[in-house]
Structure 1
Amino acid sequence: MGKVVSSASMSLDGFIALQDNTIGRLFDWYDNGDVVVETATPGLTFHLTPASAGHLRGWAASLGALVVGRTLFDVTDGWDGRHPFDVPVVVVTHRVPTPWVDAHPDAPFTFVTEGVAAALGHAQEVAGEATVGVTAGTIARQCLELGLLDEVAIDLVPVVMGRGRPYFGDLGVDAVLLGDPTVAIQGDRVTHLVFQVQR
């Protein structure tokens, strides 16, 4: 099986979104360069610096599946049935959004109601040897608590938000140690970092 990696843009004070799920200045780096990076979403094109473009392309190419929470699914309306990285998506939820499923019968989305571990297991089956990406926030926290997370990827943005939704939040376990960064790439208004989880 491939690695399990959480990933998100994060403020210096540890937030990945405001309380209303808007992102403030966290995604400015997606549109501050000259390198065009297309996505699977019509009309969604990134303009990145060469360093950030290389990093993002590598991340997208490594993915075999994503595990996301119901909040992100609802905020994005399921990306209209196709994630920008064009990979299968496993959604952790308490209830299956039947109207959405009926409206998107061919979407490569699976809804799992048995919890994060079950969702991750399904995603690993789908991904094979490729990486399973998990969204920061509640999903990443639960994976970390269960010992299921291999790496933590952070696109660190030089902004202090003061409040919002944290990358991990309150852990239900003792402190978890990470290794020194295995990746440290300086972009424009962002630093891309990857840490291995120590077990």
Structure 2
Amino acid sequence: MGQVIASATTSLDGFIARPDHGIDELFGWFDAGDVVVENHGDLPPFRLTEESAAYWLAWRESLGALVVGRELFDLTDGWGGKHPLGVPYVLLTHRPVRDSAALGSPDLVVMHEGVLEAVAAAQEIAGDKVVGVAAGTIASQVHAAGLLDAVNVDLVPVFLGEGRPYFTAQAGGPVPLGDPTSVVPSRGVTHLSFPVPR
């Protein structure tokens, strides 16, 4: 069984998006270099630095499945049924899903039971590969359930001042993490990985 890892691009003050879900200030590093990295689905390719490309491709290759929440799913309309990372994804929601372009996709699994069941379903899909969990409410619930193995942060040198936090109060705290297992500086971003002590 693979690890369960939260991963997100984050401002220096810990936000993954503005209050209105805007992310423009955070995602410049996806167009900061000359290495073209194709995406799945309808997203245009990234143009990454060599350092970010190596980090991103290794992360993408490690993934076997994702767990996402309803808010992100609705914002993206479920990516039309094909997540840009190219892996199956488990949607944890307590409301029925209707009128989404993603419905009927073989990559989408809808779970209503709870975070334990959603992570278990994703682990079944992923096998020995990593289960990635979306930052925010989902990552917080996964951590509170004692299921989170590591936290990845793509740290962008910007203060947002307010917005949507990487972890919510549901995660509990304070929570000291272990020493970083990976630090990759790049143009406009530093990629960090931290183990979560058990």
TM over 0.5: yes
* Match of residue 55 from structure 2: 55
Any gaps of 5 or more consecutive residues in structure 1?
none
Matches within 5 A, 1:25-36: 25-36=25-36
* Match of residue 185 from structure 1: 184
CA contact (8 A) 1:18 1:24 kept: no
In structure 2, distance between residues paired with 1:40 and 1:70: 21
Greater Cα offset, 53-62 or 21-30: 21-30
Matches within 5 A, 1:39-54: 39-54=39-54
Letter in 1 for 2:137: T
Q: Does 1:81 align with 2:81?
A: yes
In structure 2, distance between residues paired with 1:43 and 1:119: 26
Letter in 1 for 2:115: V
Deviations along 1:77-103, one digit per CA (max 9) or x if unpaired, are 1111101111001011112313327x6
CA contact (8 A) 1:176 1:198 kept: no
The TM-score normalised by the length of structure 1 is 0.95
Matches within 5 A, 1:16-165: 16-100=16-100, 104-165=103-164
Letter in 2 for 1:51: E
In structure 2, distance between residues paired with 1:174 and 1:50: 36
In structure 2, distance between residues paired with 1:73 and 1:146: 22
Letter in 2 for 1:133: G
Letter in 2 for 1:15: F
Q: Cα offset for 1:169?
A: 1.9
Greater Cα offset, 157-166 or 39-48: 39-48
Would you say how many aligned residue pairs link Structure 1 and Structure 2? 198
Aligned to 2:100, what secondary structure does the other structure show?
helix
Aligned to 2:99, what secondary structure does the other structure show?
helix
CA 1:69–1:132 in 2, change beyond 3 Å: closer, same or farther?
Answer: same
Deviations along 1:110-134, one digit per CA (max 9) or x if unpaired, are 1111111110010000100000000
In structure 1, distance between residues paired with 2:24 and 2:84: 20
Where does structure 1 differ by over 3 angstroms across 4 or more consecutive aligned residues?
171-174
In structure 2, distance between residues paired with 1:138 and 1:43: 24
Please, what is the CA RMSD of the aligned residues?
1.3
Letter in 1 for 2:140: R
Deviations along 1:1-26, one digit per CA (max 9) or x if unpaired, are 10000000000000000111111310
Work out the percentage of aligned pairs sharing the same amino acid.
Answer: 52
In structure 1, distance between residues paired with 2:123 and 2:106: 18
Q: Cα offset for 1:149?
A: 0.1
CA 1:155–1:43 in 2, change beyond 3 Å: closer, same or farther?
Answer: closer
Deviations along 1:14-71, one digit per CA (max 9) or x if unpaired, are 0000111111310010001000000112352000000000000000000000000101
In structure 2, distance between residues paired with 1:158 and 1:13: 9
CA contact (8 A) 2:180 2:192 kept: yes
Letter in 2 for 1:166: P
Q: Cα offset for 1:174?
A: 4.0
* Match of residue 169 from structure 1: 168
